[in-house]
Amino acid sequence: MRLRRSIGTRELSLLDPFLLLDEIHSDRVDDYVKGFPTHPHRGFETVTYMISGFMEHRDSLGQGGQLAAGSAQWMTAGHGIVHSEMPNPDGSVFWGLQLWVNLPAAQKLMKPRYQNVAPDRIPELSVAGMPVRLVAGALGNERGPVDGISVQPTLLDLKLPPGGRFEHELPRDHTVFAYVLDGSAELGAALNAVNAGQIAVFSPGQVVATRSASGARLLVVAGRKLNEPVARRGPFVMNTEAELDQAVEDYQNGTLVSG
């Protein structure tokens, strides 16, 4: 898979509670057709947000189906799940993102669950004339459909028209970042220029402020910090190395998904 990774790199290994952010955006089938064949997860959540194309999902819980353009899926792996995610092979533009979100220690072995959100369930608001899709969190009197998550997430898909400005205040104990999908924007009090494919991290308590002279599309993402130790090994995220060893052993002996 040809992808752009912003979180989960040597430069930015994590942003508590966020562990990884990948963007896949291509009209070349060879870049994405191999997809993500069957693989396990334990101890965290995956968030898939589709912009164009679709993703075919199958898993060990018997869940399956297509994540269509405009849809979102918040999957809590918890104790363990084995699944596959395969993009459409029809040659159209495939554009999607996946975000990994940590779970607190007390919930790492919880029962797996899903929040599958069809496009028409995501509120499309107008804020000062700007279209905003509210996947999670609150904006004015509206709330996004994703709920009941321990990190109290916010996920906004914002389109700034030329000359557009947007401000949003979030709790001080939340990690907040913006990822530019298209165009360029000036973010934060210093109005730092951020271009497509780049991520901007806001300081604690800083109001999310963005403007764009020529227009831009960006995701604004926030979540409550867990402030817990992180031990990660491939598709498993726990708090200690011993817990990772147990996850590997459970996967190998077939008990990862039976807890």
**Structure confidence by residue, pLDDT tens digits, 39-54:** 999 999 999 999 999 8
- In this structure, is residue 258 part of a structural domain? no
- In this structure, is residue 247 part of a structural domain? no
Give the tokens for residue 167. Answer: 């401000």
Residues 155 and 102 placed together within one structural domain of the fold: no
What CATH number corresponds to the domain at position 149?
Answer: 2.60.120.10
Which own/partner pairs from 127-130 qualify as long-range (CB within 8 Å, at least 24 positions apart)? 127/166, 128/164, 128/165, 128/166, 129/161, 129/164, 130/158, 130/159, 130/160, 130/161, 130/164, 130/166
For residue 166, pLDDT over 70 is answered with: yes
Q: pLDDT per residue over 63-115, tens digit each?
A: 777 889 999 999 999 999 998 888 877 667 889 999 999 999 999 999 998 88
Residues 197 and 94 placed together within one structural domain of the fold: no
For residue 239, pLDDT over 80 is answered with: yes
Residues 91 and 38 placed together within one structural domain of the fold: yes
- In this structure, is residue 245 part of a structural domain? no
Residues 139 and 221 placed together within one structural domain of the fold: yes
Q: What is the pLDDT of residue 258?
A: 64
Share the mean pLDDT of the chain.
92
- In this structure, is residue 143 part of a structural domain? yes
- What mean pLDDT comes out for the span 115-121? 93
Enclosing domain of residue 139: 123-228
- In this structure, is residue 178 part of a structural domain? yes
Residues 115 and 14 placed together within one structural domain of the fold: yes
Residues 20 and 111 placed together within one structural domain of the fold: yes
Q: pLDDT per residue over 172-192, tens digit each?
A: 999 999 999 999 999 988 888
Domain final residue pick, 91, 121, 151: 121
Non-local CB neighbours of 195 within 8 Å, separated by 6+ positions: 180, 183, 184
Question: N- to C-terminal Cα distance for the chain?
Answer: 31
Residues 106 and 128 placed together within one structural domain of the fold: no
Structural domain count, the chain: 2
- What mean pLDDT comes out for the span 10-26? 95
- In this structure, is residue 248 part of a structural domain? no
